[in-house]
Amino acid sequence: MLKYIVVFVSMALAAWTVPEWLESWLLQREGSASAPPPGTLLTSKELSSYSGGEGSKGLYLAILGQVFDVEKGRKHYGPGGSYHFFTGKDASRAFITGEFTEAGLSSDVSDFSESQIVALYDWLSFYQRDYTPKGKLIGHFYTENGEPTEALRNLEAFLSEGLRKKAQAQSEMQLYPSCNTEWSEASGGRVWCSSMSGGIQRDWIGVPRMLFSPGSGHTRCVCIHLTDPVHSENQNLREYKDCPHQAESCKIIKD
């Protein structure tokens, strides 16, 4: 199981970013060539015969009801391969949860959060880019006529909101990149800023501040550019106790 998890995480790193995926998804919604052929519909039983084993019709998998031919990746998806558990079925749930048990290899994503749905559609874009679409799977996401089900329409509504929130969060991270942090039981902690802290490369270093999240009571350490006037208007920013106003590093004393 550990081998599967390690390989699965490696596979995740190859997925597209949201902006690239969004362009692909919008094109698909307009009827682009990357969408599954509308007339090709498979039942779950028919799809199960494409698991790549002896006497199999081929090597297919489905994600969000869209079916893809993964034959070119047979060393990974074929019998004995690290991803073989995805083939012959729609295991959309496992792409996000990493649960590769019989129960986890399911198409039920009704309890997913908006961010999980965004990540799942990002996986869909990966297969749209790298593998050949073969049609749609009748069931949870598509009707016998190949039309989207209510469940799929609900997912798309959550997707839209999830993308909005992700864009908002990314914008905030650019404006308020996270601090570097360290902590020990003996001496307490330290927060400091650098030109790469928070994973945001920039031409300024900044100073640490506590950023409060209204209504949640949560805070996080962020780096701010003192010359940026937008920060002086943000009432949710606080200085660290006993830390000089322009210091790039602040000690957090253990209570």
Concatenate the DSSP letters of all residues of 47-112 into one string: HHT-BSSTT-S-BEEEETTEEEE-GGGHHHHSTTSTTGGGBTSB-HHHHHH---STTTS-S--TT-
Lowest-pLDDT range, 147-151, 165-169, 174-178? 165-169
Nearest residue to 23 via CA among 96, 95, 152, 125: 125
SS3 179: coil
Which regions of the chain carry the CATH code 3.10.120.10? 2-171
**Higher local confidence (pLDDT), 167 or 239:** 239
Q: What is the pLDDT of residue 228?
A: 87
Q: What is the pLDDT of residue 21?
A: 44
The mean predicted confidence, pLDDT, of the chain is 83
Contacts of 188 (CB under 8 A, 6+ apart): 251, 252, 253, 254
Q: At which residue do the structure tokens 């950023």 appear?
A: 211
Q: Residues 172-188: what's their mean pLDDT?
A: 85
**pLDDT (tens digit per residue) in 70-114:** 999 999 999 999 999 999 999 999 999 999 999 999 999 999 988
* Claim: this prediction has a pTM higher than 0.75: no
Task: Tell me, rounded to whole angstroms, the distance of Cα 25 from its chain centroid.
Answer: 15
Residue type, 114: E
Alpha-carbon distance of 142 to 127, in angstroms, equals: 18
Nearest residue to 90 via CA among 103, 107, 76: 107
Nearest residue to 137 via CA among 26, 36, 53: 36
**pLDDT (tens digit per residue) in 39-75:** 589 999 999 999 999 999 999 999 999 999 999 999 9
- Strands 188-192, 219-224: parallel, antiparallel or unpaired by DSSP? unpaired
**pLDDT (tens digit per residue) in 137-152:** 999 999 999 999 999 9
- CATH code: domain 2-171 is 3.10.120.10
Alpha-carbon distance of 100 to 93, in angstroms, equals: 9
Q: Residues 216-236: what's their mean pLDDT?
A: 86
Q: At which residue do the structure tokens 């039309």 appear?
A: 147
